[in-house]
């Protein structure tokens, strides 16, 4: 099967950080949430996919093709949104669009104008005068206006207020109604993904913790609450991460059957959110 | 190529500082560099203007954060380098037209007597532009902005010192002594340097982490 995005054993070494053995696959028509704490290696992975930095090992295939050998062809089919504004600040929206549009073979002016109108953006406004949310909307408008088959987004909702965040997510929700489009979405705000993601890849300290369907992830993990008297050297092993207070403990497990067998009804078991999974896995 | 040039021109004309430079750089050069020979002024303007037109928008891109956007567009790094080198000739053509009109007006208004079209100087200017850009381009493609700026400043100041030396001393100048502006050697040297520089920049930029 041809995956939209296939990353195998990816490695990148820096002085103080190594991205090691990163592997995951994204099928056409799905959204993959790429989660992890700050500094986990999310942006580095995205930069490697976009060939902005060079890998030390491994393989990246986009639309089934090597991302360097077929770079131009691949990038023509990718829409990208980065965490910060990297556009020329002195230019207006229209000027920046004119520059970007000339590089894409399937640039759709009608589509761009639709989004500009929809997002309430003034084409004559200089990019430096836009708020962070408006800049993000402009990036999205560009990413969605050349019939891209894969949208890659690096922390698009980071630093946005809840209203803007919701708006951005609603836009993405509309985009995925088109089954042919796939989205690779990195974020540390995991609640953004609860609604829209099909797959979750969790990365921490440069390594993939898991890459699974979201429903499977949420089914596999559970939050366990109980008194600290239940914890000893053996029972602690059942938890991926633990938070202890004077009144009790809260822990994340991926082995619910064992927990039920050991603690019985002495503990309270709740569904874990993606945030719980990320926080407790990092705390390990 | 058109995409790269379109971007360069939009950047140049959208920035107030660059617009100011485009308009006032020619009169600035005319009144700063005094020359015994009016055709030499034309040569200085051609070289300085083409060189700065090539470097200015390029420096925005390679040095600034915008490089992430440009490198995410459907254009390979090899193409970015190749079109950049090719665009120098486009800027040279623009300079001939723009400086020609500008200097013709200055002549017509009798502000200063200066050549506004001189084939001999055009032929002499292009290898010099090629030599300067072939030194500076790889620095921008490979190094961090500060280092590239230093290389740019060294090249540009060297040009001005050489130009001032020639314009004041004339035939007895150090530049003439070196035979720098004479013969076919300079053309072969320029072509050789430009090709080597192009290949070097391609290699350096392709392997660079942005």
- pLDDT at A7 exceeding the cut of 90: yes
Same structural domain, A123 and A191: yes
Give the separation between CA A170 and CA A161, rounded to whole angstroms.
14
For the domain that residue A258 is a member of, what is the CATH number?
A: 3.30.70
A103 to chain B: which residues are within 8 Å by CB? 3, 73-75
Residue A200 shares a structural domain with residue A268: no
Chain position carrying tokens 């200063």: B112
Same domain for A73 and A115: yes
A25 and A134 share one domain: yes
Which of B4, B5, B7 has the highest number of chain A CBs within 10 A, making it the mutation to test binding with A?
B7
Among residues A188, A212, A236, the one where a domain terminates is A212
Q: Do B73 and A82 touch (CB under 8 A)?
A: no
- Report the half-sphere exposure of B208 (CA within 13 A, side-chain side): 23
Instruction: Chain B: give the shortest CA distance to residue A140, in Å.
Output: 13
B76 contacts on A by Cβ (under 8 Å): 71-72
Query: Do A64 and A142 belong together in one domain?
Result: yes
Q: Which residues contact A227 (CB under 8 A, 6 or more apart)?
A: A248, A249, A266
Q: Do residues A176 and A193 share a domain?
A: yes
Identify whether residues A64 and A180 lie together within a single domain: yes
For residue A65, pLDDT beyond 80 = yes
The last residue of one of the domains, among A212, A233, A262, is A212
Interface check for A173 against chain B (CB to CB < 8 A): the answer is no
For A139, the closest chain B residue by CA position comes to B69
With a cut of 90, say whether residue B130 has pLDDT above it: yes
- Residue B94: partners with Cβ closer than 8 Å, 6 or more residues away: B53
For B67-77, write each residue's pLDDT tens digit: 888 889 999 99
- CB distance A170 to A3 below 8 Å: no
**Can you give the pLDDT at residue B115?**
84
What's the rounded Cα separation, in Å, for the pair B204 and B130?
19
pLDDT at A193 over 80: yes
The pLDDT tens digits of the residues spanning B138-160 come to 998 888 878 888 998 999 888 87
Nearest to B68 among A52, A74, A76 (CB): A52
- CB contact (8 A) between residue B72 and residue A50: yes
Chain A CB contacts of B2 below 8 Å: 102
ipTM of this complex: 0.86
B15 touching A, CB under 8 A?
yes
Domain that holds residue A247: 221-283
Domain boundary, last residue among A195, A212, A229:
A212
Distance (Å, whole) CA B155 – CA B79:
25
A246 and A196 within one domain? no
Best of A88, A91, A107 to substitute, by most chain B Cβ atoms within 10 angstroms, is A88
pLDDT at B64: 64
Most A CBs within 10 Å: which of B74, B80, B81, as the mutation test of the A interface?
B74
CA distance to A24, A122, A123, A232, per residue, from A127 (Å): 35, 10, 9, 57
Q: A190 and A101 in one domain?
A: yes
> Could you identify the residue written with the tokens 């084409």?
A123
> Does B127 have pLDDT greater than 60?
yes
For chain B, counts of helices (H) and of strands (E) = 9, 0
Residue in B46, B26, B21, B50 with CA at minimum distance from that of residue B106: B26
Q: Between chains, do A103 and B75 touch, taking CB under 8 Å as contact?
A: yes
- Confirm if A226 and A267 have CB atoms less than 8 A apart: yes
Are the beta carbons of B73 and A103 separated by less than 8 Å? yes
Asked if B60's CB is within 8 angstroms of A103's CB, the reply is: no
Q: Both A158 and A106 in a single domain?
A: yes
Q: Give the residue from chain B lying closest to A101, CA to CA.
A: B3
What is the number of structural domains in chain A? 2
Beta-carbon contacts below 8 Å between A and B: 71
DSSP assignment of chain A equals ---SEEEEEEEEE-SS-EEEEEEEEE-TT-EEEEE--TTSSHHHHHHHHTTSS--SEEEEEETTEETTTTHHHHHTTEEEE-SS--S-TTSBHHHHHHHHHTT-TT--HHHHHHHHHHTT--TTSBGGGS-HHHHHHHHHHHHTSS--SEEEEESTTTT--HHHHHHHHHHHHHHTTSTT-EEEEEES-THHHHHH-SEEEEEETTEEEEEEEHHHHHHH-EEEEE-GGG--HHHHTT-SEEEE-SS-EEEEES-HHHHHHHHGGGSEEEEPPHHHHHHHHHH-
For the stretch A25-48, pLDDT in tens is 999 989 999 999 888 999 999 999
| Torsion region of A147: left, alpha or beta (phi above 0 gives left; psi -120 to 50 gives alpha) | left
**Is it the case that residue B186 has pLDDT exceeding 70?**
yes
Q: Which residues of A touch B71 (CB under 8 A)?
A: 50-52
Classify B149 as helix, strand or coil: helix
Clarify whether residues A9 and A147 are in a common domain. yes
Name the token pair of B74: 């459907």
Please tell me the predicted confidence (pLDDT) of residue A72: 94
> How confident is the model over A87-101, as a mean pLDDT?
90
Same domain? A147 vs A245: no
Share of residues in chain B with pLDDT > 90 (%): 33
């Amino acid at each position: 099967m041809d995956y939209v995005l296939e990353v195998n054993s990816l490695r990148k070494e820096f002085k103080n950080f190594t991205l090691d053995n990163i592997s995951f696959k994204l099928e056409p028509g799905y959204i993959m949430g790429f989660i992890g704490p700050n500094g986990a290696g999310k942006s580095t992975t995205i930069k490697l996919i976009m060939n902005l930095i060079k890998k030390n090992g491994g393989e990246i295939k986009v639309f089934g093709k090597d991302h360097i050998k077929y770079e131009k062809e691949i990038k023509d089919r990718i829409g990208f949104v980065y965490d910060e504004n990297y556009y020329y600040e002195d230019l207006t929206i229209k000027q920046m669009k004119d520059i970007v549009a000339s590089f894409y073979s399937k640039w759709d002016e009608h589509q761009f104008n639709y989004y500009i109108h929809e997002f309430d953006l003034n084409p004559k406004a200089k990019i430096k005068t836009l708020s962070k949310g408006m800049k993000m909307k402009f990036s999205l408008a560009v990413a969605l206006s050349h019939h891209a088959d894969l949208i890659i987004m690096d922390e698009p909702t980071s630093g946005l207020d809840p209203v803007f965040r919701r708006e951005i997510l609603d836009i993405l929700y509309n985009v995925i109604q088109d089954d042919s489009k796939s989205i690779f979405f990195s974020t540390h705000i995991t609640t953004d993904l609860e609604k829209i993601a099909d797959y979750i890849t969790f990365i921490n300290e440069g390594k993939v913790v898991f890459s699974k369907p979201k429903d499977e992830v949420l089914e596999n993990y559970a939050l366990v609450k109980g008194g600290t008297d239940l914890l000893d050297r053996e029972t602690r092993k059942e938890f991926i991460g633990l938070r202890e207070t004077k009144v009790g403990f809260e822990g994340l497990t991926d082995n619910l059957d064992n927990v039920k067998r050991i603690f019985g009804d002495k503990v309270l078991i709740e569904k874990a959110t993606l945030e719980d999974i990320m926080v407790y896995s990092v705390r390990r | 190529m058109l995409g790269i040039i379109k971007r360069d021109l939009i950047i140049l004309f959208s920035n107030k500082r660059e617009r100011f430079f485009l308009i006032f750089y020619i009169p600035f050069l005319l009144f700063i560099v005094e020359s015994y020979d009016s055709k030499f002024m034309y040569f200085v303007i051609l070289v300085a203007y083409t060189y700065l037109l090539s470097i200015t928008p390029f420096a925005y891109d390679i040095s600034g954060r915008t490089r992430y956007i440009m490198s995410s567009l459907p254009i390979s790094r090899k193409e970015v380098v190749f079109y950049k080198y090719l665009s120098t000739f486009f800027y040279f053509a623009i300079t001939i037209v723009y400086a020609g009109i500008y200097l013709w007006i200055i002549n017509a208004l009798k502000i200063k007597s200066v050549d506004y079209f001189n084939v001999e100087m055009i032929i002499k200017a292009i290898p010099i532009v090629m030599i300067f850009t072939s030194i500076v381009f790889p620095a921008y493609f490979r190094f961090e902005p500060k280092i590239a700026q230093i290389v740019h400043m060294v090249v540009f100041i060297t040009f001005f010192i050489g130009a001032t030396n020639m314009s004041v001393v004339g035939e007895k100048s150090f530049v003439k002594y070196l035979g720098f502006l004479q013969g076919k050697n300079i053309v072969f040297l320029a072509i050789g340097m430009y090709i080597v520089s192009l290949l070097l920049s391609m290699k350096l930029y392709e392997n660079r982490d942005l």
